[in-house]
Amino acid sequence: MPILAAVATNSRKSVHALLKAQADAEPSTSPLHDLCKQYDQSQNEQRGAGRKFNYLRMKSPFVNLVVAGDDRIVAFAITSTKLVRISACKAEEKEFALRSAVERGHEPTVQLLLKMGVNVNAAGRGGRTMLHVAINRRQEGLIRLLLENGSNIEMEDEFGLKPFHKAVQHGTEAIVQLLLDKVVNIEAVTNDGETALHLAAKSGDTVMVELLLDRGANIEATDRNGGNALHMATKRGDIAAVQLLLDKGANTEAGNYFDVTALHLAAACGDVVTVQLLLDKGANIKAASSYGMTALHWATDRGNVATVQLLLDKGANVEAVTTDGRTALDFARAKGLTDVESLLTFPGGV
């Protein structure tokens, strides 16, 4: 097709000639004349496909024009209806074109396709909608446009992630605020039972954590394994997020389905600073998991010498046993951790 050949070779002169020929065949009142003029006036802009253009053989010429990325040519094609045969495009192709325009941030083309009635809620690979894609790209203008055109904020991808979850993971504070103002369910969970607060804590995004808590997110909400936001932040080793959650009233004694607390996780990770913080906030140093593992057991099992020393200094019970009767010293000996074994054998020094 001539227009695609001209676009592919980045020949603006050829593209303009084709557009002008189409416009000249129309009455002087036709909007095609203005669109042709706009394209001509944009000649200094570095937009177009050029050598990067890859023709999609399984897609229609119109879809290829959208993917090529010049909003003016797409506008001309939609208005003309003769430049390419849009009527021959199946619904799935138009949805592919819309998704491509969203991915590339081409707001004018997105607007035109939505006016054509392309399904704004069509799900693509992995169940992701146009709104998911726009949020991933942090395209606030496109997000607003999609919402104004009926984008469903409750649709989930294959992992149970709604657009709001994606916004917390990949968006900005402004985008999250925008979706919250649309009255999204702040406690909606993914397939893993995680809320937006879990996701924010996992990523160590303290701004997002605080925003969600200020908007009423449940600080003690648990995922399918019983883990809460404090557990997530602790496993990540993000002291700022842990501090924030504690300041907001997170329960240091909350355990997951195996009764593993934040202190256990911090000890297992060898995070001395977080262990100290949790203890300062009243975490129970004697708390045991469902297998009888205390923080001292966890720290010993992972060979975290500094953490073992801190726990001993804070009064950890070296005689505490697991459900199968093992002390922390048994763990150290079984793994040949001589430094830790010495600390446990002579907890007060020699």
- The class (CATH top level) of 159-251 is mainly alpha
More confident call, 176 vs 68: 176
The structural architecture, per CATH, of the domain 1-20+59-151 is Alpha Horseshoe (1.25)
pLDDT at 23: 79
- Residue 41's pLDDT band (boundaries 50, 70, 90)? confident
And the tokens for 214?
A: 């200020």
The amino acid present at 267, given as its one-letter code, is A
Does residue 350 carry a pLDDT above 50? no
User: Rounded to an integer, what distance in angstroms lies between the CA atom of residue 203 and that of residue 293?
Assistant: 27
Domain with CATH 1.25.40.20 in the chain: 1-20+59-151, 159-251, 258-349
- Residue 64's pLDDT band (boundaries 50, 70, 90)? confident
pLDDT at 50: 47
User: Rounded to an integer, what distance in angstroms lies between the CA atom of residue 139 and that of residue 308?
Assistant: 48
Condensed to tens digits (0 to 9), the pLDDT of residues 234-290 reads 999 999 999 999 999 999 999 999 999 999 999 999 999 999 999 999 999 999 999
Nearest to residue 166, comparing CAs of 191, 142, 200? 200
pLDDT at 58: 62
Condensed to tens digits (0 to 9), the pLDDT of residues 157-204 reads 999 999 999 999 987 899 999 999 987 899 999 999 999 999 999 999
- Hey, what CATH topology would domain 258-349 get? 1.25.40
The amino acid present at 333, given as its one-letter code, is R
Question: What is the overall mean pLDDT for the chain?
Answer: 89
